[in-house]
Amino acid sequence: MAFPLPRGITPSEIAFLAEMEMVTVVPRQRLEGLELLGGPVEPLVPPRPSTPREYYPPAWLHPDPLSLILEVESQHQDYKNAFSPPLPLPGQPSIRDNGLAPKARPQYTPDGDRYFPSPPFLPQNTAQMTISSRDPPALPFHWVEIGNMLLEAASDDLVEADQVRRLLKDLREIRLSKMRAGVDALDAAAVGGGGVALTGVGAMEVGEERGFLSGVVDNLRKIGASKEQARREQMAEQRANGGYNGTQDEEEEEDYMEF
């Protein structure tokens, strides 16, 4: 059509959004604190050279968790057509502590107000002091973008950067092919029924498949429009006649609620 820009959001725009995510930096030079629009930046003080390095990359950006996720995605029976589950929401109990009450960990603003952080201010992509293996590994929402940018800018600080790069690529491919396989299930979405579950899919992956999937759904809807129309007319007719008993009524009612 005549509109010159591609529909949807381009990869560089998605990467721009991902830049809101918090990462850890170790300063090499001294810098006074800055008052920026997004909030104050604390003064940067380089650590003493003698201090041993005790930072580790984000929990998910290691070869081990990534190969575990890759294995789950490709081998596990339950995840044949699904994506590995996303990180638990803040304040939700993680899968490991079954039955315990949800622990919401509040934080405090400089003025002392209590708040619960939400993305992008969750420390999903910051460096950690220790390698904790309490929670099962999960990919954050911006995993493609953050992974790519960290590999580009800080590959020296990652553990086995080459392997991480390879694993990320494999993961992306297997998840993309799953999303494309979802086209088979889409029929139902067009004529009333199920759909494709995209739980756990990252921003970049959604952005990449958006044009194709929405095109397919739209066209299936157009092809099925006349059938859908006929179905509705038939239902309206039955409703008007009122010639059925109570149990059928309920079924019809439920059916109608789908739209």
Partner 1 sequence: MSYYDVDSILTDAQKLPCTFELEVPGLGILEGNPGEDIKPGTRIDLPLWLGEMLSIGARLGTSRLVTLDMPPALSERVMNALKADPRTVDLRALAPHFYSLSERILELFEEEEMVDVLTETFKRRAAEISDHAHNPRGAVGDGVDFLRGLDETERQLFRAAHDRAKEMRVWSGEAKKK
Handedness of CA 87, 107, 157, 36 (dihedral sign): positive
Report the residue from 161, 183, 198, 206 that binds partner 1 according to the rule CB under 8 A: 183
Report the residue from 71, 197, 215, 256 that binds partner 1 according to the rule CB under 8 A: 215
CB of 45 or CB of 181, closer to partner 1: 181
Report the residue from 176, 189, 198, 206 that binds partner 1 according to the rule CB under 8 A: 176
By CB under 8 A, is residue 187 in contact with partner 1?
yes
Could you give the CA distance from residue 203 to residue 20 in angstroms, rounded to a whole number?
A: 13
Site map for partner 1, 110-149, x if CB under 8 A?
--------------------------------------x-
CB of 2 or CB of 257, closer to partner 1: 2
Could you give the CA distance from residue 64 to residue 257 in angstroms, rounded to a whole number?
A: 46
Shortest approach of partner 1 to residue 108 CB, angstroms? 38
By CB under 8 A, is residue 188 in contact with partner 1?
no
Q: Single out the segment in contact with partner 1 by CB under 8 A; choices: 30-38, 80-88, 107-115, 179-187.
A: 179-187
The count of residues interacting with partner 1 (CB under 8 A) is 38
Report the residue from 44, 72, 191, 206 that binds partner 1 according to the rule CB under 8 A: 191
Shortest approach of partner 1 to residue 103 CB, angstroms? 37
Q: What residues make contact with partner 1 under the rule CB under 8 A?
A: 1-2, 6-8, 10-12, 15, 148, 152, 176, 180-181, 183-184, 186-187, 190-191, 204, 207-212, 215-216, 219-220, 222-227, 230
